[in-house]
């Protein structure tokens, strides 16, 4: 006897969605009126607004205000069922998903599992670095940063002190740029008041980028301005360098240069997070699933993939679409419509990416944006870009209450130069134990 | 060579405070202008506003908004030093505190370690029950409640279902009453929308009280009204009963009655949390430290205790003062003044408790209050008491920003019947593993 998960019996078609990121929840919403049973599986009971994770990591907003329980998002959607479960594998022949709570049958399967940090096979880096891909990561980074300073208070040795106070961020994409900027703001405005006993001129923030420019994928103006802003804030931007090794203390670059830090933030790349059981031919390099213009996974009739996990390769996008919120949201929305068409025997509509541009914030009053409005490209940097960034992110946070809390936080931070939540609560990342160097001289 | 913690050398007297609860932070504040070095030691880097812990446990407010980092509270106080450390023991002869970061010398030692949950030696209870004494506890309870329902969705067996959906709260003091009321509100207004597949008429909430009345220590009117309100909300209030055993599944009372629940909330008592190294003669029953009217620990010249850990036995209070926020705040404030007097060679002033009364909230629009204003007793119950409770707790939360966030939360909850943060994030308490009873019948 097979062990089935309990879900209300239905004569309707069942759409099973794995993963409640942007793509997954947009699809579920888009099936609101459809005559189907929608089952969303996720290993957390909440949706994470990933673009603001870096602000949680740098104590800018509360964790709670950028996450939203699925059951709350969908409380008015009658055909929606949520199951808190981990997926073990999918059996596409017998059309079920094996999960930690039992088997779940499907008529249509949608994989929306997103992406995970790519350490490019570097096990040492995976062990010693911190990434910012989940809420857990972000909270761990926050705890680690704050705990480092508490530890630093007890040290005299200059190198040991630097190992705790310096930060190395690897990867000059939006996440790397945003974290570097936020850390710099903390150093310039917040930490010196909290830790009066420490000299924050000793705190160095390095941003390491493998290519010749920051924000690859955005315009040259954006990359250059981002670098200019960061350097003005005090970030040491090191271009054309790769990290070779990091033992939890010493960072060695391919140029032979070395840096000392106990906290290396890895924002150098992501890779798809596919599920087991999909035919290997459809899994491309980068672990993404090859989909056609209807987001159907190659080789299947009723298995789809949307968002970061999907590689939709077209003439316009020979490398696939960028791994951003916009393609995920648009694919989720369209797939909902297409599933309805499919069930009604109508032809599906091909996906066309409506590129609205991209942006990154660097810090107080400074952001860079390459916008596309009415097919016109608008490049803007500085205060206006920052206001646009704030506005777009604020309205995108799910839930009116969350928006209000984020707004209160941002307003508060802006006017007081004082971020809210410098709490050490939960796990922290401790690399090499700190060598205690307290000697009689420093006795009380 | 002794291993000393590093703290700026000073020729001033050093006051070391162990514990940053109400008493500890009030004392540190009161020493703002004093010519001393104030060192606060705590094992967390934040102050917890304990009266609202139950709201964190029942997803009413965010964890972040009831806690406040010490460094932030005292960022403008120049003579204040915080150390994140655990206390191992105190050596009152050589006048130092041994901590996890090294030895810390003191001229005046103030123990403000508060109280901890009292399981009255019942190891089984300690292992299987959940208490609500720290932020960790509160978050664990929140996660557990929400996870129980996710599990319950998979069950058919009625007893198993009840074990996950029913709650037993032991202890009819303010915490027990407040948790019972809050859980009932969730059952009546929130959970049914989140878990449409569950029948919440099956969710029973029991409040077990050993004595004949709730809210011992408050007036009869308060106790009776609280019971009336709770019963109207749907709580089963069981008086004159004690819990004998709880194996994580079955609760057995001294009357022979049994209840089934996987979640027993223990709010039946607290006990002092003293530090090692204090002379045994000064540790009273209940683990409190015997202090004189100056909060000086019996047998010492320069060791003090304030707040819940202090037993100040007077003619008016032969059992010591109630373990509430008010005595803690008042003792902290006065001790600051007294230490200044002591150092100036002036006589200290004896402590006199200004009893402002006490209150408890039962749920939406309902609270009970025994107030003392201008030496007049005012007893009030219902909506007015609830407004007073809200107002007093709101203005008492540390930090303007936190107050704003709590206000947003409360306003939101009140008008939408929808609490904010039903997130499962971090550890949960799992007693007996759920027996899976899925059979072929439920296969779909």
DSSP-assigned letters across all residues of A230-278: HHHHT-EEE-S--EEEE-SSEEEETTS-EEE-S-EEE-S-EEE-PPTTS
The Cα–Cα gap between B380 and B390 comes to 14
Residues 6+ apart with CB under 8 A from B315: none
Token match 């981002």: residue? A226
Kindly determine whether residue A444 and residue B5, on different chains, have CB atoms separated by under 8 Å.
yes
Do A408 and B405 count as a contact with CB atoms less than 8 A apart?
yes
Among A237, A235, A228, A249, smallest CA distance to A203 is for A235
The terminus-to-terminus CA distance of chain B in angstroms comes to 72
Round the average pLDDT of chain B to a whole number and report it.
91
Phi, psi of B92 (to 5 degrees): -75, -15
Q: Which residues of B touch A135 (CB under 8 A)?
A: 425
* Residues A110/A335, Cβ–Cβ less than 8 Å: yes
Q: If pLDDT is split at 50, 70 and 90, which confidence band does A421 have?
A: low
Q: Give whole-number Cα distances, B27 to B38, B51, B83, in Å.
A: 10, 19, 16
Is B8 part of a structural domain of the chain?
A: no
Catalytic residue among A178, A197, A316, A440: A178
Q: Which residue of A has its CA nearest to B192?
A: A75
Same domain, A254 and A230: yes
Contact list, A440 vs chain B (CB under 8 Å): 1
| Alpha helices per DSSP H over B188-267 | 191-194, 220-233
Residue A440's pLDDT band (cuts 50, 70, 90) = very low
Number of domains in chain B: 2
For residue B440, give the DSSP letter. G
Q: Is residue A359 part of a domain?
A: no
Residues of B in contact with A425 (CB under 8 A): 44, 46, 63, 67, 135
Residue B2 — very low, low, confident or very high, per pLDDT cuts 50/70/90? low
- Which residues are paired to B37 by β-bridges? B14
Using CB atoms, pick whichever of B3, B6, B424 lies closest to residue A45: B424
Please state which of the ranges A53-67, A68-82, A297-311, B295-309 shows the lowest mean pLDDT.
A53-67
For the ranges A187-201, A421-435, B44-58, B147-161, which has the lowest average pLDDT? A421-435
Q: What is the CATH number of the domain that holds B216?
A: 3.50.50.100
From the list A105, A85, A92, A94, the residue with the least C-alpha distance to A20 is A85
Least confident of A56-70, A269-283, A394-408, B5-19: A394-408
- Chain B 60-79, CB below 8 Å of chain A: which residues? 62-65, 67, 69, 71-72, 75, 78
Mean pLDDT of all residues in A216-236: 95
Q: What share of chain A is helix, strand, coil (3-state, %, to 5)?
A: 35, 25, 40
Q: Within a domain: residue A67? A: no
Cβ contact B6–A64 (<8 Å): no
Indicate the pTM of the whole model. 0.91
Cα–Cα dist B16/B106, whole Å: 6
Rounded to a whole number, what is the distance in Å from the CA of A123 to chain B's nearest CA? 26
* CA angle, residues B409, B50, B419, in degrees to nearest 5: 25
Cα B281 to Cα B88, B289, B304, B406: the distances in Å are: 20, 9, 15, 44
Q: Name the more confident of A432 and B223.
A: B223
Does A348 map to a domain? no
Question: Mean per-residue pLDDT for B347-362?
Answer: 94
| Residue A431 near residue A264, CB atoms below 8 Å | no
Closest CA to A323 of A21, A82, A52: A21
- Closest Cβ–Cβ partner in A4, A84, A438 for B4: A438
Mean pLDDT, residues B91-99 taken together:
97
Q: Rounded mean pLDDT of B384-398? A: 85
SS3 state at B397:
coil
Res B437: pLDDT: 40
Q: Are residues A144 and A177 in the same domain?
A: yes
Task: Give the closest of A150, A155, A412 to B45, CB-based.
Answer: A150
**Is residue A5 a contact partner of residue B154, using CB atoms and an 8 Å limit?**
yes
**Distance, C-alpha A111 to centroid of its chain:** 18
Is residue A295 located within the same domain as residue A394?
no
By three-state DSSP, how is residue B195 classified?
A: coil
CA–CA separation, B53 and A427 (whole Å)? 21
pLDDT at B390: 86
pLDDT above 60 (res A439): no
Rounded to whole angstroms, the Cα distance separating B111 from B122 reads 27
- % of chain A beyond a pLDDT of 90: 75
Band of residue B220 on the pLDDT scale cut at 50, 70, 90: very high
More confident residue, B394 or B150: B150
Query: Mean pLDDT across the stretch A184-192?
Result: 91
Q: What is the structure's pLDDT at A219?
A: 95
pLDDT of residue A429: 75
Residue B332 has pLDDT above 70, yes or no: yes
Spell out which residues of chain A touch residue B46, defining contact as CB-CB under 8 Å: 423-425
CATH number for the domain that contains residue B322: 3.50.50.60
Nearest Cβ partner of B64 from A72, A194, A423? A423
Same domain, A133 and A228: yes
Please check whether residue B427 lies inside any domain of the structure. Answer: no
Q: Average of pLDDT values for B391-402?
A: 78
SS3 B90: strand
- CA-nearest residue to A152 within chain B is B6
Both tokens of B254, joined, read 């001294």
User: Does A123 reach chain B within 8 Å, measured CB to CB?
Assistant: no
Tokens standing for residue A243: 């990290």
Say if residue A395's pLDDT is above 60.
Answer: yes
C-alpha A225/C-alpha A137 separation (Å) is 29
In a domain, A30, yes or no: yes
* DSSP per position, B17-82: EE--SHHHHHHHHHTTTSSEEEEEEESSSEEE-GGGHHHHHTTSS-GGGGEEEHHHHTTT-TTEEE
Question: Using the beta-carbon criterion (under 8 Å), do A101 and B409 form an inter-chain contact?
Answer: no
CB-closest option in A405, A423, A425 to B405: A405
Q: Does A254 touch chain B (CB under 8 A)?
A: no
Tell whether A418 is within 8 A of chain B (Cβ): yes
Contact assignment for A63 to B4 by CB distance below 8 Å:
no
Contact B425 A83 (CB under 8 A): no
B62 close to A64: Cβ distance less than 8 angstroms: yes
A-chain residue closest to B79, CA distance: A196
Report d(CA A311, CA A291) in Å as an integer. 6
Active-site annotation holds for B140: no
What mean pLDDT do residues A31-37 have?
96
Q: Are residues B290 and B278 in the same domain?
A: yes
Q: Which of A8, A418, A420 is nearest residue B197 as measured by Cβ atoms? A: A8
Say how far apart CA A388 and CA A371 lie, in whole Å. 10
Question: Using the beta-carbon criterion (under 8 Å), do A154 and B404 form an inter-chain contact?
Answer: no
Tens digit of each residue's pLDDT (9 = 90 or more) over B405-417: 778 777 777 777 6
Contact assignment for B404 to A401 by CB distance below 8 Å: no
pLDDT category, A1, cuts 50, 70, 90?
very low
Q: C-alpha angle A361/A362/A364, rounded to 5°?
A: 95
Find the CB nearest B69 among A7, A422, A436.
A422
Residue with tokens 């209030």: B237
E strands, A59-101, in order: 67-69, 80-84, 87-91, 96-99
B97 lies in the same domain as B139 = no
> Is pLDDT above 60 for A354?
yes
Tell which residue, A65, A11, A347, has the closest CA to residue B61. A65
My answer on whether B223 and B248 are in the same domain is yes
> Do residue B162 and residue B219 come from a single domain?
yes
Other CB atoms within 10 A of residue B256 CB:
7
Nearest C-alpha neighbor of A327 from the set A360, A290, A353: A353
Please state the length of chain A. Answer: 444
Tell me what pLDDT residue B442 has.
35
Q: What is the pLDDT of residues B202-212, one digit of tens each?
A: 999 999 999 99
The structure tokens listed for A61 are 């907003």
Q: What is the DSSP letter of B333?
A: H
Residue B74 placed within a domain: no
Are residue A143 and residue A253 in the same domain, yes or no? yes
**B153 and B264 assigned to the same domain:** yes
> If contacts are CB pairs under 8 Å, which of residues 154-213 in chain B contact chain A?
154-156, 193-197
Closest CB from B2, B8, B71 relative to A194: B71
Average pLDDT over residues A153-162: 90
Measured CA to CA, the distance from residue A401 to residue B275 in angstroms comes to 43
Longest CA span, chain A: 83
Tell if the CB–CB gap between A1 and B412 is shorter than 8 Å.
Answer: no
Indicate whether A323 belongs to any domain. yes
Residue B436 scores a pLDDT above 70: no
pLDDT band at B78 (very low <50, low <70, confident <90, very high): very high
Q: pLDDT at residue B311 above 60?
A: yes
How many Å lie between the alpha carbon of B438 and the closest alpha carbon of chain A? Answer: 7
Q: Positive or negative CA dihedral for A441, B1, B7, B12?
A: negative
Chain A residue numbers with beta carbons less than 8 Å from the beta carbon of B2 are: 443
Among B188, B191, B167, residue whose Cα is nearest residue B179: B167
d(CA A269, CA A173): 9
The rounded mean pLDDT for chain A is 91
Binary contact (B45, A10; C-beta < 8 A)? no
Phi, psi of B66 (to 5 degrees): -110, 5
Size of interface A-B (CB pairs under 8 A): 158
Q: How many alpha carbons fall within 13 Å on the CB side of residue A168? A: 28
Q: Which residue in chain B has the smallest CA separation from A96? A: B444
Contact state of B1 with A439 under an 8 Å Cβ cutoff = yes
Measure the CA–CA gap between A314 and A169, rounded to whole angstroms: 33
Q: How far apart are CA B355 and CA A110, in angstroms?
A: 63
The answer to whether A297 and A111 are in contact (CB under 8 A) is: yes
Helix pair A325-343, A22-30: axis angle to 10 deg: 30
Pairwise pLDDT comparison (A91 vs B430), residue with the higher score: A91
Which residue of the set B62, B98, B140, B178 is catalytic? Answer: B178
Our CA angle for A330, A333, A335, nearest 5°, is: 105
pLDDT score for B210: 95
Would you put residue B375 in left (φ > 0), alpha (ψ -120 to 50) or beta? left
Measured distance CA(B368)–CA(B359) in Å, rounded: 6
**What residues make up the domain containing A233?**
123-268+365-416
Q: B186 and B256, same structural domain?
A: yes
Of the candidate ranges A390-404, B258-272, B326-340, the one whose mean pLDDT is the lowest: A390-404
Residues B148 and B104 in one domain: no
Tell me how far apart the alpha carbons of residues A334 and A316 are, in angstroms, rounded to a whole number.
Answer: 19
Structure confidence at residue B434 (pLDDT): 61
Query: Among all chains, which residue has been given the structure tokens 């929608």?
Result: A38
DSSP state letters, B71-122: HHHTTT-TTEEEEE--EEEEETTTTEEEETTEEEE-SEEEE---EEE--TT-
Q: How many CB atoms lie within 10 A of CB B234?
A: 16
CB within 8 Å: B46 and A83? no
Contact A243, A427 (CB under 8 A): no
pLDDT bracket for residue B435 (50, 70, 90) = low
A71 exposure class (CB count in 10 Å sphere: 0-12, 13-18, 19+): buried
Which among B159, B193, B164, B337 is positioned nearest to B262, based on CA atoms?
Answer: B164
Neighbours of B112 (CB within 10 A): 31
Chain A contact present for B404, CB below 8 A? yes
């Amino acid at each position: 006897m097979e062990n089935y998960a309990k879900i209300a019996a239905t004569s309707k078609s069942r759409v099973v969605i794995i993963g409640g990121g942007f793509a997954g929840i947009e699809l579920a919403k888009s099936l609101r009126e459809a005559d189907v049973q929608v089952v969303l599986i996720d290993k957390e009971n909440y949706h994470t607004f990933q673009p603001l994770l870096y602000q949680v990591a740098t104590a800018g907003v509360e964790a709670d205000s950028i996450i939203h329980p699925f059951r709350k998002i969908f409380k008015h959607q009658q055909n929606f069922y949520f199951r808190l479960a981990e997926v073990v594998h999918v059996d596409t022949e017998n059309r079920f998903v094996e999960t930690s709570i039992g088997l779940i049958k499907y008529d249509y399967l949608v994989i929306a599992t997103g992406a995970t940090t790519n350490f490019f096979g570097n096990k040492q880096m995976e062990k010693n670095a911190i990434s910012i891909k989940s809420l857990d990561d972000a909270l761990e980074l926050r705890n680690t940063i704050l705990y480092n300073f508490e530890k630093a208070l007890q040290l005299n040795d200059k190198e040991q002190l630097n190992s705790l106070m310096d930060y190395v961020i690897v990867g000059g994409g939006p996440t790397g740029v945003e974290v570097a900027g936020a850390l710099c703001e903390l150093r310039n405005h917040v930490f010196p008041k909290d830790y009066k006993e420490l000299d924050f001129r000793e705190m160095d923030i390095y941003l390491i980028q493998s290519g010749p420019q920051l924000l690859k994928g955005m315009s040259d103006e954006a990359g250059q301005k981002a670098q200019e802003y960061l350097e003005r804030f005090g970030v040491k931007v090191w271009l054309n360098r790769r990290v070779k090794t990091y033992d939890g203390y010493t960072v060695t670059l391919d140029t032979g240069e070395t840096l000392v830090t106990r906290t290396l933030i890895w924002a150098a790349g992501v890779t798809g997070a596919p599920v087991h059981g999909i035919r290997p031919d459809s899994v491309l390099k980068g672990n993404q699933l090859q989909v056609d213009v209807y987001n159907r996974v190659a080789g299947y009739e009723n298995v789809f993939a949307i968002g970061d996990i999907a590689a939709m390769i077209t003439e316009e996008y020979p490398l696939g679409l960028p791994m951003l919120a916009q393609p995920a949201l648009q694919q989720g929305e369209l797939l909902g419509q297409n599933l309805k068409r499919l069930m009604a025997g109508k032809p599906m509509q091909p996906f066309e990416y409506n590129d609205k541009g991209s942006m990154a914030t660097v810090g107080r009053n400074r952001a860079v944006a390459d916008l596309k409005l009415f097919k016109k490209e608008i490049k803007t940097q500085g205060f206006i870009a920052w206001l646009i960034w704030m506005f777009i992110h604020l309205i995108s946070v799910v839930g009116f209450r969350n928006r209000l809390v984020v707004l209160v936080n941002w307003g508060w931070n802006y006017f007081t130069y004082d971020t809210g939540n410098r709490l050490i609560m939960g796990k922290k990342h401790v690399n090499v134990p700190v060598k205690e160097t307290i000697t009689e001289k420093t006795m009380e």
